[in-house]
């Protein structure tokens, strides 16, 4: 039908029908629910703005997160069963917490959500992912545990914990052709997460191109720079002026800051309402957004590689130092080899003798 002429010569066109979208958020991985709590502080955009329809062009959004929901028990769980049966289309799946490996043991379970009414047994987190991921329009990992395994996936852990891409496969694609979208951070920076959700919702509405991701499946515009590149103290670093105590405003690399080799925008963005940002406010960067976290950054308070270089060396050998930093950056951007699915636990776990 031809578009209708409106007063003052404008032309009105019917907006395309935008579907309602459900966000199913599983916090039943191994984690502390800290990402859900963190995201309540988001302002760009806030959860409230997205859910109350304050942002033009977005579909209507319904959020199902156990930490934030009004419903409990079966009233909350019914949305997960509906999604599994194909009666909650379309939905985006958010995974929070690392994925334990339920295949490495004969009995019991590591993590679960809800109870199977037929067997009376808990429904494991692994099972929920197997049920829901193939039906989701997009899958987003919130925080470092879900993205790369995080704290629970340290060497020597008994659960075989891993990130979602280790579980589903790094080449996995949703039914809409989207890769897993990783938004790491321990916890996730709230605006980084909500901005990624916003991007994907615009993509669902046909208003944004394919989300740009790097080889670790992180949004490139959020994780393309290092902590050091956005740090308020970088001027001190370049002049070789280093802090020897936490009360100093100078560069804290010699107190253990890994900022030069860590991909994270927190010093630029702050934590809440632009305030904070680890090294800006005196906290060493421990690399919490990185695939190699925590193992490749420990012990946290030791000087990271390159911290012993003098200011003269930094000036004279800038190119060589940049190359060394790039090498370290590549190393810490790789997960340790024991984070994988399969039937063998290879973390080096030694059961205690009682």
Cα distance between residue 254 and residue 308, in whole Å? 7
Interface with ligand SF4: number of residues (CB under 6 A):
24
- Closest to 157 measured CA to CA, from 122, 107, 110: 110
Q: Which of residues 242-261 bind ligand SF4 (CB under 6 A)?
A: 251-253, 257, 259-260
DSSP at 242 = B
**Which residue do the tokens 């927190």 mark?**
266
Cα distance between residue 30 and residue 2, in whole Å? 55
Minimum separation from the CB atom of position 132 to ligand SF4 (A) = 29
| Contact with ligand SF4 (CB under 6 A) among 22, 64, 228, 269 | 228
Query: Does 269 interact with ligand SF4 (rule: CB under 6 A)?
Result: no
Which residue number, 168 or 227, has a Cβ lying nearer to ligand SF4?
A: 227
Which residue number, 37 or 52, has a Cβ lying nearer to ligand SF4?
A: 37
Residues in the chain: 354
Which residue number, 31 or 267, has a Cβ lying nearer to ligand SF4?
A: 267
Query: Does 146 interact with ligand SF4 (rule: CB under 6 A)?
Result: no
Which residue number, 161 or 266, has a Cβ lying nearer to ligand SF4?
A: 266
Query: Does 132 interact with ligand SF4 (rule: CB under 6 A)?
Result: no
Q: Is 50 helix (H, G, I), strand (E, B) or coil?
A: helix
- Closest to 49 measured CA to CA, from 38, 61, 37, 36: 61
Q: Which of residues 287-306 bind ligand SF4 (CB under 6 A)?
A: 287-289
**Which residue do the tokens 């946290």 mark?**
300
Per 3-state DSSP, what percentage of the chain is helix, strand, and coil (rounded to 5)? 35, 15, 50
Which residue number, 97 or 294, has a Cβ lying nearer to ligand SF4?
A: 294
Q: Which of residues 153-192 bind ligand SF4 (CB under 6 A)?
A: 185
CA-atom Rg of the chain in angstroms: 23
Q: Residue numbers of the site for ligand SF4 (CB under 6 A)?
A: 185, 227-228, 231, 233-234, 237, 251-253, 257, 259-260, 262, 264, 266-267, 278-279, 285-289
């Amino acid at each position: 039908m031809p578009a209708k002429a409106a007063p003052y010569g404008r032309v009105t066109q019917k907006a395309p029908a935008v579907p309602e979208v459900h966000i199913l958020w599983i916090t039943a991985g191994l984690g502390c629910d800290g990402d859900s709590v963190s995201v309540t502080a988001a302002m760009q955009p806030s959860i409230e703005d997205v859910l109350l329809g304050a942002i033009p062009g977005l579909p209507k959004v319904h959020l199902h997160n156990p930490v934030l929901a009004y419903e409990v028990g079966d009233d909350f769980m019914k949305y997960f069963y509906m999604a599994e049966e194909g009666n909650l289309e379309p939905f985006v799946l958010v995974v929070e917490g690392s994925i334990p490996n339920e295949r490495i043991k004969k009995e019991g379970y590591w993590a679960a959500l809800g109870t199977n009414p037929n067997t009376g047994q808990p429904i494991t987190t692994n099972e929920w992912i197997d049920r829901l991921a193939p039906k989701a329009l997009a899958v987003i990992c919130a925080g470092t545990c879900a993205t790369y395994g995080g704290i629970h996936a340290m060497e020597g852990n008994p659960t075989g914990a891993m990130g979602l891409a280790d579980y589903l496969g790094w080449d996995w694609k949703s039914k809409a052709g989207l890769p897993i979208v990783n938004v790491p951070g321990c916890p996730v920076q709230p605006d980084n997460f909500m901005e990624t959700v916003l991007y994907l919702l615009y993509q669902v509405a046909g208003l944004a191109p394919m989300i740009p991701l790097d080889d670790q499946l992180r949004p490139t515009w959020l994780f393309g720079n290092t902590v050091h590149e956005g740090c308020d103290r970088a001027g001190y670093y370049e002049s070789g002026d280093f802090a020897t105590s936490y009360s100093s405003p100078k560069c804290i690399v010699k107190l253990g800051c890994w900022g030069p080799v860590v991909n994270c925008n927190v010093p630029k963005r702050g934590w809440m309402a632009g305030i904070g940002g680890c090294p800006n406010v005196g906290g060493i960067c421990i690399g919490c957004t990185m695939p190699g976290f925590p193992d490749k950054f420990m012990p946290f308070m030791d000087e990271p590689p390159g911290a012993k270089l003098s200011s003269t060396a930094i000036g004279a050998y800038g190119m060589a130092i940049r190359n060394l930093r790039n090498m370290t950056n590549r190393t810490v951007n790789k997960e340790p080899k024991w984070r994988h699915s399969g039937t063998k636990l290879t973390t080096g776990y030694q059961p205690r003798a009682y």
